[in-house]
Amino acid sequence: MTNTMKAERLVILKPGREAPTMRRHPWIFSGSITMVQGNPGPGDLVAVYSAEGDQLAWGHYSPASQIRIRLFSWAQDIPDGAGFWRQRLQRALGLRESLRRSSGTTAYRLVNAESDGIPGLIVDQYGDVIVIQLLTAGTDALRDTFADLLMEMIAPLTLYERSDVDVRGQEGLLPVAGLLRGVEPPPLVDITELGLTYRVDIRNGHKTGFYLDQRENRQRFRELAVTQEQSGAPVMLNVFSYTGAFSVCGLAAGMVRVVNIDASEDALALGQQNVAANGYDSSRVTDIQGDAFVALRKLRQQSERFDLIVLDPPKFASAQRDVQRASRGYKDINLQAFHLLKPGGTLTTFSCSGAISEDLFQKIVFGAALDAGRDIQITGHLSQGSDHPVALTFPEGAYLKGLTCRAVQ
């Protein structure tokens, strides 16, 4: 053995299972482990060794999860507690400094979990409010450490937790939400993005309140909408509209009419507030509450046609077993959208399902266009924003993919 197994708690991998760890992939699955020593509990620090006794990495142990260890250090020395995490947070904040200093935007992601070297930690900023998610046993055990460090390093008025997500159940953790530090946040937090104003419900909204990962795509959509506006009196359809951020971008670019479809009455109501907050006439916006699949068919029956369509559905596939069913869902909504798209119009379509690859998504959209009998050109490929980076060692971090598709006829 090249190193003495001196750690208090350690995990030994099966022969031949060390390659992903040596390539710095941050996950070790339960099936790769042959022995656990020291009786580690949820969130405990463990050292990882190869079957030959070589020390490989350090990580947090999660006995309830199939992802048994989340790795964060490949150094030989034991990570230095709060000092180690301070350095990781400083690095993540530093990489976003130019965005944080930019004018016209007050909301962004500060820490993106594994891709920032802190598995399971999400940190989003909404002006003077910081919202965090602790998604793993390791980050859950470090709740106070991260809370204290973030208050010291950023000094927000409010540090709020939104760890009320299903993925925590896979770690054997209960949902948690509420104030961690500072003062209670207002019912709605006002943010600015690229010069537009949005109201965010950080207590009850999706994710941490807002789809921050779409910021750069909203900017591209706004530029596209400006081009479309030059062709007449364009009309826009926003499907799975949530609180209407894409719709506000469309109005800002000159859309004369916007139709929103969403299942949530509360989301549509907040979308109306976002329209008003930017000074646009609410009469230009029509909201349809209900099932998007049904609503799209009804619009088609009514012979509606749109210059711009956005499809931004929720995650259809949470795991590989869901891919076939999800593919049918993606094809259906894209098929209906192509039927509703005017010649010369553009569909902007997304999938946020990590189990759906970029290649598969493009094939699904191709199949929908073929069945709709439309001649379609791809004019752009879209992904999550630069504040949601993807480490090359962690391709699973790439979840959002999108296409802009122009109807030739």
- Write the CATH number for 290: 3.40.50.150
Note whether residue 337 is domain-resident. yes
* Catalytic residue status for 405: no
Q: What is the pTM of this model?
A: 0.95
Quote the pLDDT of residue 101: 82
> What letter represents residue 70's amino acid?
R
**CB-hemisphere CA count at 13 Å for 259?**
20
Residue from 371, 368, 232, 251 nearest 307 by CA: 232
Catalytic residue, from 352, 355, 364, 403: name it.
352
Look up the CATH number of the domain holding residue 163: 3.30.750.80
One domain, residues 157 and 247: no
One domain, residues 122 and 58: no
One domain, residues 217 and 351: yes
One domain, residues 267 and 388: yes
Edge to edge, the sheet with strand 107-112 lists 107-112, 121-126, 129-134, 158-163, 176-182
Considering 42, 73, 104, which residue would you say is the last residue of a domain?
A: 73
One domain, residues 132 and 278: no
Note whether residue 251 is domain-resident. yes
Note whether residue 250 is domain-resident. yes
Residue from 260, 290, 263, 255 nearest 272 by CA: 260
One domain, residues 51 and 117: no
One domain, residues 228 and 335: yes
Task: Please give the average pLDDT of every successive group of 10 residues along the chain, which has 409 residues.
Answer: 61 97 98 97 97 97 98 94 96 92 88 98 98 98 98 98 96 97 98 96 96 97 84 90 98 96 98 98 97 98 97 94 96 98 97 95 98 97 96 96 95
* Cβ(351)–Cβ(314) below 8 Å: no
Q: Show the CA angle centred on residue 286, arms to residues 253 and 108, nearest 5°.
A: 50
Cα dihedral angle (380, 383, 385, 386), rounded to 10 degrees? -90
Q: Identify the bridge partners of residue 61 per DSSP, sorted by sequence position.
A: 69
Note whether residue 200 is domain-resident. no
What phi and psi values does residue 2 have, to the nearest 5 degrees? -80, -20
Note whether residue 33 is domain-resident. yes
One domain, residues 241 and 390: yes
Coil, strand or helix: which one is 360? helix
Chain length of the chain = 409
Considering 133, 168, 194, which residue would you say is the last residue of a domain?
A: 194
Distance of alpha carbon 285 from alpha carbon 271, whole angstroms: 10
One domain, residues 149 and 53: no
Note whether residue 199 is domain-resident. no
* Cβ(241)–Cβ(261) below 8 Å: yes
- Token code pair at residue 356: 């759906």
The label of the residue with tokens 């509450």 reads: 289
One domain, residues 51 and 86: no
One domain, residues 86 and 103: yes
One domain, residues 234 and 382: yes
> What letter represents residue 73's amino acid?
S
Quote the pLDDT of residue 409: 79
Quote the pLDDT of residue 1: 39
Total domain count for the chain?
3
Considering 20, 55, 73, which residue would you say is the last residue of a domain?
A: 73
- Give the residue numbers spanning the domain of 269: 211-407
Look up the CATH number of the domain holding residue 50: 2.30.130.10
- Token code pair at residue 112: 């993106």
Integer Rg of the chain from CA: 23
In the chain, count of helices (H) and strands (E)? 11, 20
